[in-house]
Amino acid sequence: MREYLLYIKACGGSIPQVQTYVTPSFSVDRSFWQEREGCVLHVIGKTSSLALAFSLRAKVNGYLMERVGTGRMLTDGYVKELRALAVSSVCEASNLYGREAASVQDRREQRWFSWESIEESVEVSYLGNKELGKLPGARLDYLGGHELLRRSSSRVNIQEAVLREILDGRALLWDEVESLLKKRGVDVNDLSAILHALVLANKAEWRPGIRFAVIKGWWRNRLELVCERCGSAGEKVEFTYCHTCEQGCAYCTACLGMGRSKCCTPYFLMDVGESLIRSADHLQNVARLEWAGKYSADQSRAAERARCFVANPRPGLSEFLIWAVCGAGKTELLFPSVTEALAAGGRVLIATPRKDVVLELAPRIKRVFPGAKVIAVHGSSSEKWEESDITIATTHQVMRFHRRFLLVVLDEADAFPYHNDPILYRALSRAVKKSGKLLYLSATPPGYLQKRLVRKGRSTLGSSGAIPLFSDTHVLLPGRYHGAALPVPKILAVQDLHKRVQTNRIVAPFIEAVSSSLNEGRQVFVFVPRVDEIDRVLSYLQKWLPAHAGEMAGVHAADHMREEKVLAFREKRYTVMVTTTILERGVTIPKSDVVVVGAEAPVFDEASLVQIAGRVGRSVDDTSGSVLFLQAERATSPKRAVRQILQMNSLAQRLVEQRGLS
């Protein structure tokens, strides 16, 4: 069981300075202060709950600010007062915790938190800094740390340097730190002491997995628990009793899949050190771009704008949106920006919502940047803990980084896990270095991103409508890479649409659209709003188009044949695929048409419908196709989707005209 000591450091001098600290090993602190300044350390007490120690630290610090800040000296009597304050705070926290956790577990006779008050004051005299100038961290070779460690493992500061190398720019729970070190073959005997020395030297930060604070209320006080890793609070944090710290200990259920973040687990945040600076040759090699493709005029314009944003050292400018319609070739647009960041000696993160996109993207990026080390990071990936120049990660893995990347790219910013999820946005902005840049890629940016990043007022096209083509924080790419216009959906209202389908009465436009597409040898996506409608629509189609009945299939998210079915659809063994919104993005099938049955349903919002319409006409061979929105009643989102597509088309048109003129 790890125990944490709370102590107050008071040093004399003309202005009395007092500060409270939490430490897992007091001896480290003592020798640390010996090297720096003479002071008195008043020990308050110890506990095994890190969250409790931190909340007490905040409390005592606040108290000291109030009193000692105004000139009062820290006398023995005052320290005694503070000890009493700590005891009463523990008591209060214990009671409040018990009230919340009573429904979970009954511990009426025992206390939820234990606290051992210690009355001890240690006078530390200044011994001078023997180690000054010997810290090898700055000069340590990029990967040679292990060698150094093996040669002189007794030297604590070398262990420290190696740990810094490994934990550089990561945010990890204690268990993850241990497993990472084990994987790297580094054996450290007193890990917590060394990590704590780093914390004291202000090179790292540690926090409890779940932080808690007593919130004063007018009616009654309550305990506020917040997960330090994902930032969730309230219902997401579950109260329980923990056998590790033998105290009341809450854990976070929102990020449980990444390991248990709880009150007694330390959570380490390590800033990126200066050891990353590498030689110019090396950088040139890493940033080498080998790509034979060519941009269209619009693409090169957008790519250049994004590159300028990354290269721009202006501090306030940290977010940028590339708004490119479906099929504009978004991935290629990134290459100049990534090159720029790599050449500046930074690391790059590309975050995408889904694992299959990670797996598809990684080899592509690897081919284009042969000199850089590219890793794919997802839940079951084996290279999760490796060092790299370019990291391609799924959303949740981003949570394990702390100010590590110079450039973070978020692909499909409007897709499911990111959309409206403060946890993931928080994780992303934490993964960016202090001076780093965040780049969003989207075909249908959500309203809040548009509001924040699409600045009105500057447009080369003058009266080009509501959306400006570019600003300091965004660039808009309204046309596809092959230059043809986006297919415009046709909206048709059919009375009693769902009833007709249910009772097998004919819906002429639906059947005609599907059959004419099939007769032309095209494939058809049929989107429905709910999973239980898949079978209904499928059997309906099979009844009305018996000639093609064998080539139809339905797929939904929980379908265990999902991959096989989608593959069969790609290989044209199926010609009609009835599906929900799961296939709205990512799947590209040349020569296909789309029908949405029930476009008025709330799951089909504007973005979703634009994405669905974007499935059609993506390849160069077949740039047109038909998109049909069938709705049972009037709805706004299909109309808005059509309006957005029309707007994009007219913008693209004007761009072409303008280029023709100049």
Looking at the Cβ atoms of 263 and 609, the one nearer to another protein is 263
Q: Is 209 helix (H, G, I), strand (E, B) or coil?
A: coil
558 touching another protein, by CB under 8 A: yes
Of the candidate spans 254-262, 443-451, 488-496, 585-593, the one that interacts with another protein by CB under 8 A turns out to be 254-262
Of 260-268, 432-440, 452-460, 622-630, the segment contacting another protein by CB under 8 A is 260-268
| CB 106 to another protein: min, Å | 9
The two tokens of residue 653 are 């048109």
> Whole-angstrom Cα distance, residue 478 to residue 649?
7
Under the criterion CB under 8 A, does residue 280 sit at the interface with another protein?
no
Between CA 568 and CA 88 the distance in angstroms is 67
The CB-of-244 to another protein minimum distance in angstroms stands at 4
- Work out which of 85, 118, 122, 256 binds another protein, going by CB under 8 A: 256
- Residue of the chain from 9, 196, 260, 430 that contacts another protein (CB under 8 A): 260
Nearer to another protein, 415 or 552 (CB): 415
Instruction: Assign 475 to helix, strand or coil.
Output: strand
How many Å apart are CA 56 and CA 172, to the nearest integer?
23
Q: Which lies closer to another protein via its Cβ, residue 2 or residue 184?
A: 2
Could you say whether residue 105 binds another protein (CB under 8 A)?
Answer: yes
Specify the residue, 236 or 384, whose C-beta has the smaller distance to another protein: 236
- Regarding 114 and contact with another protein (CB under 8 A), the answer is no
* Binds another protein (CB under 8 A): choice among 249, 351, 576, 607: 249
Residues 587, 612: Cα–Cα separation, whole Å: 10
Cα–Cα distance for residue pair 126/40, rounded to 1 Å: 11
Instruction: Enumerate the H helices of 37-118 as residue ranges.
Output: 50-67, 76-101
Among 251, 267, 569, 574, interactor with another protein by CB under 8 A: 251
Candidates 86-94, 204-212, 252-260, 466-474; binding stretch for another protein (CB under 8 A): 252-260
With CB under 8 A as the contact rule, which of the stretches 10-18, 241-249, 443-451, 588-596 interacts with another protein?
Answer: 241-249
For residues 436-475, which are near another protein according to CB under 8 A? none
Nearer to another protein, 240 or 331 (CB): 240
Q: Which is nearer to another protein, 292 or 558 (CB)?
A: 558
Residues pairing with 223 in the sheet: 214
Q: Coil, strand, or helix at residue 488?
A: coil
Check binding of 235 to another protein (CB under 8 A).
yes
Q: Which of 151, 220, 243, 434 binds another protein (CB under 8 A)?
A: 243
Site membership for another protein, residue 420 (CB under 8 A): no
Instruction: Express the helix, strand and coil content of the chain in percent, nearest 5 each.
Output: 40, 20, 40
Cα–Cα distance, 358 to 381 (Å, whole number):
11
Give the long-range contacts of residues 568-573, CB within 8 A, separation 24 or more.
569/523, 572/523
* CB 189, min distance to another protein, A: 19
Residue with tokens 């084990």: 182
CB of 212 to another protein, least distance (A): 17
Q: How far is CA 614 from CA 167, 248, 284, 493, 514, in A?
A: 42, 52, 38, 21, 18
Taking CA atoms, 562 is separated from 163, 565, 568, 612, in Å, by: 43, 5, 10, 19
Contact status: 100 vs another protein (CB under 8 A): no
What is the closest distance, in whole angstroms, from the C-beta atom of residue 172 to another protein in the complex?
Answer: 17
- Contact residue for another protein among 13, 217, 257, 521 (CB under 8 A): 257
Tokens, residue 602: 């709330």
Least distance in Å: CB of 35 to another protein?
A: 35
- Shortest reach from residue 587's CB to another protein, in Å: 23
Residue carrying the six token digits 């820290």: 74
Number of residues that bind another protein (CB under 8 A): 19
- Can you tell me the distance from the alpha carbon of 38 to that of 124, in angstroms, rounded to the nearest whole number? 5
- Asked if 559 is part of the footprint of another protein (rule: CB under 8 A), the reply reads no
**How many CA atoms lie within 13 Å of 649's alpha carbon, on the beta-carbon side?**
14
242 is an interface residue for another protein by CB under 8 A:
yes
Taking contact as CB under 8 A, which single stretch among the options 60-68, 250-258, 615-623, 645-653 is the one that binds another protein?
Answer: 250-258
Single residue of 17, 19, 179, 240 touching another protein by CB under 8 A: 240
Which one of 249-257, 414-422, 450-458, 538-546 is the stretch in contact with another protein (CB under 8 A)?
249-257
Measure the CA–CA gap between 169 and 157, rounded to whole angstroms: 19
Q: Between 236 and 565, whose beta carbon lies closer to another protein?
A: 236
Q: Could you give the angle at the alpha carbon of 340 between the alpha carbons of 338 and 341, nearest 5°?
A: 65
The answer for residues whose C-beta is within 8 angstroms of residue 4's C-beta and 6 or more apart is 22, 23, 24, 46, 47, 48, 49, 50, 53
State in angstroms the smallest separation of the CB of 98 from another protein.
Answer: 17
| Alpha helix stretches (DSSP H) within 586-634 | 606-613
Report CA dihedral (88, 89, 90, 92) to the nearest 10 degrees: 90
396 or 433: CB nearest another protein: 396
Residue 629 phi/psi, 5-degree rounding, is -100, 115
Does the footprint of another protein cover residue 238 (CB under 8 A)? yes
The DSSP-derived string for 512-566 is HHHHHHHHTT-EEEEE-SSTHHHHHHHHHHHHH-GGGGGGEEEE-TT-TTHHHHH
Per the document, the length of the chain is 662
Closest approach, Cβ 242 to another protein, in A, equals 5
State in angstroms the smallest separation of the CB of 484 from another protein.
Answer: 40
Three-class DSSP category at 607: helix
Report the nearest approach of another protein to the CB of residue 149 (Å): 26
Residue choice 17, 114, 221, 253 for contact with another protein (CB under 8 A) = 253
Which of 61, 244, 331, 542 is in the footprint of another protein by CB under 8 A? 244
Of 474, 557, 544, the residue nearest 514 (C-alpha): 544
- Residue 240 CB, nearest distance to another protein (Å)? 5
Please, which residue, 264 or 348, has the CB nearer to another protein? 264
Question: Per rule CB under 8 A, is residue 429 in the interface with another protein?
Answer: no
Is 262 a binding residue for another protein by CB under 8 A? The answer is yes
Residue 650 interacts with another protein (CB under 8 A): yes or no: no
Select 106 or 141, whichever has its Cβ closest to another protein.
Answer: 106
The C-alpha atoms of residue 356 and residue 67 are separated, in whole angstroms, by 58
Which region among 111-119, 179-187, 235-243, 310-318 touches another protein (by CB under 8 A)? Answer: 235-243
Residues near another protein (CB under 8 A) are 1, 104-105, 235, 238, 240, 242-245, 249, 251, 253, 256-257, 260, 262, 264, 558
